[in-house]
A and B are shown apart, each in its own frame.
Chain A
Amino acid sequence: QVQLVESGGGLVKPGGSLRLSCAASGFTFSDYYMSWIRQAPGKGLEWVSYITSNGGTIYYSGSVKGRFTISRDNAKNSLYLQMNSLRAEDTAIYYCVREWEVGSADAFDFWGQGTVVTVSS
Protein backbone atom coordinates (compact mmCIF):
# COMPACT_ATOMS: atom_id res chain seq x y z
CA GLN A 1 0.00 0.00 0.00
CA VAL A 2 1.03 3.59 -0.53
CA GLN A 3 3.12 4.99 2.31
CA LEU A 4 4.67 8.41 2.75
CA VAL A 5 6.80 8.85 5.85
CA GLU A 6 8.18 12.27 6.72
CA SER A 7 11.15 12.98 8.96
CA GLY A 8 13.48 15.80 9.86
CA GLY A 9 11.17 18.11 11.76
CA GLY A 10 12.09 19.68 15.06
CA LEU A 11 12.72 22.87 16.99
CA VAL A 12 14.88 25.50 15.29
CA LYS A 13 15.70 29.11 16.05
CA PRO A 14 14.55 31.93 13.76
CA GLY A 15 16.99 32.24 10.87
CA GLY A 16 17.97 28.60 11.14
CA SER A 17 17.65 25.74 8.66
CA LEU A 18 16.07 22.29 8.51
CA ARG A 19 15.89 19.60 5.88
CA LEU A 20 12.75 17.51 5.69
CA SER A 21 12.69 14.10 4.04
CA CYS A 22 9.86 11.92 2.82
CA ALA A 23 10.31 8.22 2.13
CA ALA A 24 7.80 6.84 -0.36
CA SER A 25 6.82 3.22 -0.88
CA GLY A 26 4.02 1.13 -2.36
CA PHE A 27 3.93 2.92 -5.72
CA THR A 28 6.19 3.92 -8.60
CA PHE A 29 7.53 7.13 -7.10
CA SER A 30 9.11 8.35 -10.33
CA ASP A 31 5.68 8.44 -12.03
CA TYR A 32 4.18 11.06 -9.73
CA TYR A 33 4.37 14.77 -9.04
CA MET A 34 4.90 15.41 -5.33
CA SER A 35 4.09 18.34 -3.06
CA TRP A 36 4.75 19.68 0.40
CA ILE A 37 1.72 21.13 2.17
CA ARG A 38 1.77 22.64 5.64
CA GLN A 39 -0.69 23.40 8.40
CA ALA A 40 0.05 25.93 11.12
CA PRO A 41 -1.30 25.10 14.59
CA GLY A 42 -5.09 25.40 14.58
CA LYS A 43 -5.10 26.75 11.03
CA GLY A 44 -5.97 25.59 7.54
CA LEU A 45 -3.93 23.99 4.79
CA GLU A 46 -1.29 25.85 2.81
CA TRP A 47 0.39 24.44 -0.29
CA VAL A 48 4.16 25.07 -0.12
CA SER A 49 5.78 23.59 -3.21
CA TYR A 50 5.56 20.93 -5.87
CA ILE A 51 7.96 19.11 -8.13
CA THR A 52 7.19 17.21 -11.30
CA SER A 53 7.97 13.52 -11.68
CA ASN A 54 11.43 14.02 -13.20
CA GLY A 55 12.21 17.13 -11.16
CA GLY A 56 12.22 19.29 -14.25
CA THR A 57 9.58 21.75 -13.08
CA ILE A 58 9.21 23.22 -9.62
CA TYR A 59 6.83 25.76 -8.13
CA TYR A 60 6.77 27.50 -4.74
CA SER A 61 4.26 29.54 -2.84
CA GLY A 62 5.13 33.18 -2.48
CA SER A 63 5.60 32.82 1.26
CA VAL A 64 8.56 30.42 0.89
CA LYS A 65 10.05 31.28 -2.49
CA GLY A 66 13.73 32.06 -2.18
CA ARG A 67 14.02 30.35 1.21
CA PHE A 68 12.85 26.78 0.61
CA THR A 69 14.10 24.28 -1.98
CA ILE A 70 12.24 21.15 -3.00
CA SER A 71 14.07 18.21 -4.56
CA ARG A 72 13.68 14.51 -5.14
CA ASP A 73 15.78 11.41 -5.66
CA ASN A 74 13.81 8.92 -7.71
CA ALA A 75 16.47 6.23 -7.21
CA LYS A 76 15.89 6.49 -3.46
CA ASN A 77 12.12 7.06 -3.66
CA SER A 78 12.58 10.19 -1.61
CA LEU A 79 11.34 13.76 -1.54
CA TYR A 80 13.08 16.59 0.28
CA LEU A 81 12.45 20.13 1.47
CA GLN A 82 15.42 22.28 2.41
CA MET A 83 14.19 25.14 4.56
CA ASN A 84 16.46 28.12 5.18
CA SER A 85 15.98 31.47 6.89
CA LEU A 86 13.17 30.03 8.95
CA ARG A 87 10.63 32.34 10.55
CA ALA A 88 8.13 31.91 13.35
CA GLU A 89 5.34 31.82 10.77
CA ASP A 90 6.88 28.68 9.23
CA THR A 91 5.86 26.77 12.36
CA ALA A 92 3.53 24.01 11.14
CA ILE A 93 2.99 20.37 10.42
CA TYR A 94 4.58 19.63 7.05
CA TYR A 95 2.91 16.97 4.95
CA CYS A 96 4.46 15.07 2.07
CA VAL A 97 1.71 14.55 -0.50
CA ARG A 98 1.33 12.61 -3.72
CA GLU A 99 -0.27 14.44 -6.59
CA TRP A 100 -2.52 12.29 -8.75
CA GLU A 101 -3.17 13.32 -12.32
CA VAL A 102 -6.65 12.45 -13.52
CA GLY A 103 -7.37 13.61 -17.04
CA SER A 104 -6.29 17.22 -17.24
CA ALA A 105 -6.83 17.79 -13.53
CA ASP A 106 -4.99 16.67 -10.45
CA ALA A 107 -5.60 16.11 -6.77
CA PHE A 108 -3.69 15.25 -3.63
CA ASP A 109 -4.60 11.60 -3.19
CA PHE A 110 -2.17 10.34 -0.54
CA TRP A 111 -0.77 12.22 2.44
CA GLY A 112 1.90 11.33 4.94
CA GLN A 113 1.22 11.77 8.66
CA GLY A 114 3.35 14.89 8.77
CA THR A 115 6.42 16.15 10.59
CA VAL A 116 6.30 19.06 13.03
CA VAL A 117 8.50 22.10 12.52
CA THR A 118 8.67 24.66 15.32
CA VAL A 119 10.55 27.92 14.83
CA SER A 120 11.14 29.63 18.13
CA SER A 121 13.92 31.23 20.11
Chain B
Amino acid sequence: DIQMTQSPSSLSASVGDRVTITCRASQSISSFLNWYQQKPGQAPKLLIYSASNLQSGVPSRFSGSGSGTDFTLTISSLQPEDFATYYCQQSYSTPLTFGGGTKVEIK
Protein backbone atom coordinates (compact mmCIF):
# COMPACT_ATOMS: atom_id res chain seq x y z
CA ASP B 1 0.00 0.00 0.00
CA ILE B 2 1.14 3.56 -0.68
CA GLN B 3 1.42 5.60 2.52
CA MET B 4 0.65 9.31 2.35
CA THR B 5 2.23 11.53 5.00
CA GLN B 6 1.10 15.10 5.49
CA SER B 7 2.87 17.81 7.42
CA PRO B 8 2.23 19.60 9.56
CA SER B 9 -0.72 17.86 11.19
CA SER B 10 -1.98 21.24 12.32
CA LEU B 11 -1.02 24.87 11.98
CA SER B 12 -2.18 28.23 13.23
CA ALA B 13 -2.28 31.13 10.81
CA SER B 14 -3.79 34.57 10.41
CA VAL B 15 -6.05 35.91 7.70
CA GLY B 16 -3.86 37.03 4.81
CA ASP B 17 -1.03 34.60 5.58
CA ARG B 18 0.53 32.38 2.96
CA VAL B 19 0.05 28.75 4.01
CA THR B 20 1.88 25.70 2.68
CA ILE B 21 0.96 22.07 3.38
CA THR B 22 3.11 19.22 2.23
CA CYS B 23 2.26 15.64 1.33
CA ARG B 24 4.78 12.87 0.78
CA ALA B 25 4.07 9.51 -0.84
CA SER B 26 5.94 6.36 0.19
CA GLN B 27 6.70 5.66 -3.49
CA SER B 28 6.44 7.60 -6.72
CA ILE B 29 2.88 8.37 -7.76
CA SER B 30 3.70 10.59 -10.73
CA SER B 31 1.06 13.36 -10.59
CA PHE B 32 -1.78 11.17 -9.32
CA LEU B 33 -2.40 13.36 -6.30
CA ASN B 34 -5.56 15.18 -5.24
CA TRP B 35 -6.31 17.66 -2.46
CA TYR B 36 -9.55 18.04 -0.51
CA GLN B 37 -10.90 20.52 2.00
CA GLN B 38 -13.23 19.49 4.81
CA LYS B 39 -15.04 21.85 7.14
CA PRO B 40 -16.59 20.63 10.42
CA GLY B 41 -19.83 18.74 9.87
CA GLN B 42 -19.43 18.77 6.10
CA ALA B 43 -18.33 16.31 3.45
CA PRO B 44 -14.94 16.86 1.85
CA LYS B 45 -14.66 19.03 -1.24
CA LEU B 46 -12.25 18.53 -4.13
CA LEU B 47 -9.81 21.44 -4.49
CA ILE B 48 -6.95 20.26 -6.70
CA TYR B 49 -6.68 17.22 -8.99
CA SER B 50 -3.70 15.68 -10.72
CA ALA B 51 -1.35 17.59 -8.41
CA SER B 52 -1.77 21.05 -9.91
CA ASN B 53 -5.16 21.45 -11.56
CA LEU B 54 -7.70 23.69 -9.87
CA GLN B 55 -11.17 22.20 -9.66
CA SER B 56 -13.90 24.33 -11.19
CA GLY B 57 -15.24 26.94 -8.77
CA VAL B 58 -12.27 26.80 -6.41
CA PRO B 59 -10.66 30.20 -5.73
CA SER B 60 -7.36 30.89 -7.45
CA ARG B 61 -5.61 31.49 -4.11
CA PHE B 62 -5.36 27.69 -3.89
CA SER B 63 -2.61 26.04 -5.88
CA GLY B 64 -0.88 22.68 -5.98
CA SER B 65 2.50 21.52 -7.15
CA GLY B 66 4.80 18.52 -7.15
CA SER B 67 5.30 15.16 -8.76
CA GLY B 68 6.84 11.84 -7.87
CA THR B 69 6.77 11.66 -4.08
CA ASP B 70 6.61 15.27 -2.87
CA PHE B 71 3.62 17.57 -3.22
CA THR B 72 2.51 20.94 -1.91
CA LEU B 73 -0.80 22.71 -1.41
CA THR B 74 -0.46 26.48 -1.09
CA ILE B 75 -3.04 29.04 -0.03
CA SER B 76 -1.61 32.36 -1.15
CA SER B 77 -3.66 34.59 1.17
CA LEU B 78 -5.66 32.78 3.84
CA GLN B 79 -9.30 33.80 4.07
CA PRO B 80 -11.72 33.22 6.98
CA GLU B 81 -13.56 30.52 5.03
CA ASP B 82 -10.31 28.56 4.52
CA PHE B 83 -10.06 27.42 8.11
CA ALA B 84 -10.62 23.71 7.68
CA THR B 85 -8.84 20.37 7.46
CA TYR B 86 -7.01 19.51 4.25
CA TYR B 87 -6.31 16.00 2.95
CA CYS B 88 -4.15 14.71 0.14
CA GLN B 89 -5.07 11.49 -1.68
CA GLN B 90 -3.23 9.32 -4.17
CA SER B 91 -5.08 7.85 -7.13
CA TYR B 92 -2.07 5.98 -8.52
CA SER B 93 -3.04 2.54 -7.27
CA THR B 94 -5.48 0.69 -5.06
CA PRO B 95 -5.97 0.77 -2.20
CA LEU B 96 -6.56 4.48 -2.71
CA THR B 97 -5.10 6.23 0.31
CA PHE B 98 -5.36 9.57 2.05
CA GLY B 99 -2.95 11.57 4.13
CA GLY B 100 -3.74 12.02 7.78
CA GLY B 101 -4.95 15.58 7.32
CA THR B 102 -3.75 19.07 8.18
CA LYS B 103 -5.98 21.21 10.35
CA VAL B 104 -5.65 24.93 9.63
CA GLU B 105 -6.72 26.97 12.64
CA ILE B 106 -7.10 30.65 13.39
CA LYS B 107 -4.14 32.28 15.12
Q: Do A and B come from one complex?
A: yes
Q: Interface-forming stretch among A11-19, A22-30, A45-53, A77-85?
A: A45-53
The B-contacting residues of A in range 30-48, CB under 8 angstroms, are 35, 44-47
- Known pairs A102-B50, A113-B42. 16 more at Cβ < 8 A? A44-B100, A44-B101, A45-B38, A45-B44, A45-B89, A45-B101, A46-B98, A47-B95, A47-B97, A61-B95, A95-B43, A105-B32, A105-B91, A108-B34, A109-B55, A111-B45
19 A/B residue pairs, CB under 8 Å, sorted by A:
A44-B87, A44-B100, A44-B101, A45-B89, A47-B89, A47-B98, A61-B95, A62-B1, A62-B95, A95-B44, A103-B50, A107-B50, A108-B34, A108-B44, A108-B89, A109-B46, A109-B49, A111-B44, A114-B43
A-to-B contact residues, CB < 8 Å: 35, 44-47, 50, 59, 61-62, 95, 100, 102-103, 105-109, 111-114
A-binding residues in B (CB < 8 A): 1, 31-32, 34, 36, 38, 42-46, 49-50, 53, 55, 87, 89, 91, 94-101
Contact B49 A102 (CB under 8 A): yes
Q: Bound complex: CA of A107 vs CA of B98, how far in Å?
A: 12
Docked-complex contact A112 and B97, CB < 8 angstroms: no
B98's contact among A44, A59, A95, A102, by CB below 8 Å, is which? A44
Residues of chain B within 8 A of A114, CB atoms compared: 43
Q: In the complex, what distance in Å separates the CA atom of A53 from the CA atom of B29?
A: 24
Given contacts A105-B50, A107-B34, contact A112 B43 (CB under 8 A): yes
Q: Which residue of A lies closest to B85 (CB)?
A: A44
Query: Which B residues are CB-close (under 8 A) to A45?
Result: 36, 38, 44, 87, 89, 98, 101
Structural contact, B95 and A59, CB atoms closer than 8 A: yes
Cβ contact within 8 Å between A59 and B94: yes
B44/A107 in contact, CB under 8 A:
no
- Contact yes or no, B94 A107, CB < 8 A: no
> Which residues from chain A contact B98 at a C-beta distance below 8 Å?
44-47
Least Cβ–Cβ distance between B107 and chain A, in angstroms: 22
Q: Which residues of chain B are within 8 angstroms of A46 by Cβ–Cβ distance? A: 98
| Bound Cα distance from A46 to B4, whole angstroms | 12
